[in-house]
Amino acid sequence: MKLRAATRGSPLARWQAEHVAGLLQRAVPDIDVDLVFVDTLGDRARDRPIHELGGQGVFVKEVQAAVLAGDADFAVHSAKDLPSTAAPGLTIAAVPERGDPRDCLVGLALDEIALGATIATGAVRRRAQLAHVRPDLEFTELRGNIQTRLAKVPAGGAIVMAVAALQRLELSDLIAEAFSPSQFVPQVAQGALAVECREDDDATRALLATVQHAASRAAVDGERAFLAALGGGCDLPVGAHVTPAGGEWRCEGLIADLDGTTVLRHVELGSVVEALGQKVARALLAQGGAALLARS
């Protein structure tokens, strides 16, 4: 039995697709998975900030199109790159066990960075949270694949990366400081993978379900529900993190303004994870988050 997996061609995207292929082959030994490499707008326009390209979706639309056109049976994405609402005709068939959701610095740790030094990051969420605790810092854009970004560490400063990305490429030794989710709220679904297929492809959906990790799926669904309730994407200074909490779920959400002057957080516990994410989003909007997002 053969399946075709659509993926971007970067080393990290390839690792992700091969990881899912390995999980599938362990669950269903007679499956072979061929990779179908797709070039995306986010890959081609590396000199422009993501929010200028249209924000969330710039790394997935062409990959999704390959699945919809029948050129691939499923796609493997960084779950954080997916818009908060499903693309017509596609469904997230599985979320494998989540990796580390944390952000980290490569270069110097935060307390080692001198006043007025530079941090490079392409994410407004990361910039806002860092500026909130270190308003003296200067910020510059950061785009490109992992190796390209690692080559752009500012002298005397740092770049911000996802811990999971460095772990997957065996580059964890480069981490100068990793921030706990309670220090810096992660991007929605950071560290998780999303395996997407055609909604009407029941056979492929059943096979992909074998790599589902229930707790990771629930956390990702709750965080995506938070984002959907805000009506935004990764181009906004927002974040959420869902974790199990004694038989319930805990969701912490964040909305900030772009310069980090105001950072709003809200935490709730609940038993229905998607409703919980929506509740946290509504609470933040009511606390002034709606005005912050309108200015972003």
Which residues, in sequence order, are CB contacts of 286 under 8 Å at separation 6+?
none
Question: What burial class does residue 111 get, using C-beta atoms within 10 Å of its C-beta: 0-12 exposed, 13-18 middle, 19+ buried?
Answer: exposed
Q: Distance of alpha carbon 93 from its chain centroid, rounded? A: 17
* Distance of alpha carbon 277 from alpha carbon 173, whole angstroms: 34
* Distance of alpha carbon 141 from alpha carbon 127, whole angstroms: 10
| Whether 81 is catalytic | yes
> Alpha-carbon Rg of the chain, whole angstroms?
19
- The CA-to-CA distance between both ends of the chain, in Å, stands at 48
Catalytic residue, candidates 73, 81, 100, 235: 81
Q: Which residue has the tokens 């560490």?
A: 153
Closest to 91 measured CA to CA, from 103, 74, 106, 105: 74
Give the DSSP H or E segment for 200. none
Q: Which two tokens stand for residue 37?
A: 């490499």
SS3 assignment, position 153: coil
Question: What burial class does residue 158 get, using C-beta atoms within 10 Å of its C-beta: 0-12 exposed, 13-18 middle, 19+ buried?
Answer: buried
Question: Which residue numbers are catalytic?
Answer: 81
